[in-house]
Amino acid sequence: MKYTAVRGQNILALIVAALAVLPAHAQLAPPNDAGVTMGHIHLAVKDVEAQKHFWTATMGGTAVQNGPLSMIQFPGVFIMLRQAEPTAPPAGSIVDHLGFVWKDLPAALAKWKADKVEIEQAANPNQGYVHGPDGIRVEFFGDPSLSVPVQMNHIHFYPTDIPAMQAWYAKVFGGVPGKRARMSSPGWIDCDDIPGVNLSFSQGKTELAPTKGRSLDHIGFEVKNLDAFAKKLEAEGIKLDAPIRQIPNSKTKVAFLTDPWGTYIELTEGLAPGTN
């Protein structure tokens, strides 16, 4: 969608509405015309149990299983965890943070404060950041009109060339270019909408590090037909980092690529429970 003349909370409502085209008991949003929808965020973490507690007890996700794959489900996205020694937090990489929306933000804030979760409150009382283990930072917004308690909202990139990144995600993944209002200050943020997520692009001052190896290791998109999608990428001159493979003891297929700015990306087919 193209955001033009609507501001403030109305913009957030439009974004949430655009991301809320999810079926009942939603797992992932229906794909766009390119066959793409938001899939997952994959974290490389020192303490899997600490992160699992953060994403379930603190953030409100639900632990689910798809064959051998353990995931934490939110409407529009899965969070996946892998035990590792991350090289650094997301800050300083091309993907700085994630954003989620809560239906009852005052209740969420009260719970976080009671649980002594680190909160970075912005000047706008309806916006701020929650700090999780391994330097993970989650931007929060409130929207009482949300149909679910919490929902994925955006992934925030900081490229030095915003138009190039916006055009690349539009071409490769069918993202719809537009703008959304800043919540913390006047102005607009360039973005691409993909079902289940808004990709937000803010101006980076310098070239930032790749994501691979950091605690936010990669982002994932679910595609309808991974083999056909990979052939389309190849025809466009985009090479996979490794051939398509199938997860053992499942029907889930995966492949990886890296965008021109260093964002490590996983492509999946059959990620959601019930698809295997």
Domain ranges of the chain: 8-269
Q: How many CB atoms lie within 10 A of CB 38?
A: 25
**pLDDT (tens digit per residue) in 115-147:** 999 999 888 889 999 999 999 999 999 999 999
**Alpha carbon distance 193, 170 (integer Å):** 9
- Which of the 8 DSSP states describes residue 134? G
The predicted pLDDT at position 8 comes to 40
Q: Where is average pLDDT lowest: 1-5, 158-162, 270-274?
A: 1-5
Q: What is the pLDDT of residue 187?
A: 83
Taking only the tens place, the pLDDT of each residue in 187-227 is 899 999 999 999 999 999 999 999 999 999 999 999 999 99
CA 51 to chain centre: 16
Where does the pLDDT of residue 84 fall: very low under 50, low under 70, confident under 90, or very high at 90 and above?
A: very high
Q: Tell which CATH classification among 3.40.920.10, 3.10.180.10, 3.40.50.1820, 3.20.20.450 matches the domain 8-269.
A: 3.10.180.10
For position 184, what pLDDT does the model report?
Answer: 67
Distance CA 259, CA 269 (A): 19
Q: Where are the alpha helices (DSSP H) in 44-149?
A: 48-53, 105-114
pLDDT surpasses 60 at 21:
no
Report in angstroms the alpha-carbon separations of 56 from 64, 79, 115, 116, 140.
11, 10, 13, 16, 16
Confidence of residue 183 (pLDDT cuts 50, 70, 90): confident
pLDDT of residue 13: 43
Q: How far apart are CA 16 and CA 147, in angstroms?
A: 10
Average pLDDT, the chain: 90
Q: How far is CA 178 from the centre of its chain?
A: 17
Alpha helices in the chain (DSSP H): 8-19, 48-53, 105-114, 162-173, 226-235
Which pLDDT value is given to residue 276? 56
pTM of structure: 0.89
- The helix/strand count (H/E) of the chain reads as 5, 16
Q: Give the gyration radius of the chain's Cα atoms.
A: 18
Separation of alpha carbons 103 and 144, rounded Å = 5
- Categorize the per-residue pLDDT at 182 as very low, low, confident or very high, splitting at 50, 70 and 90: confident
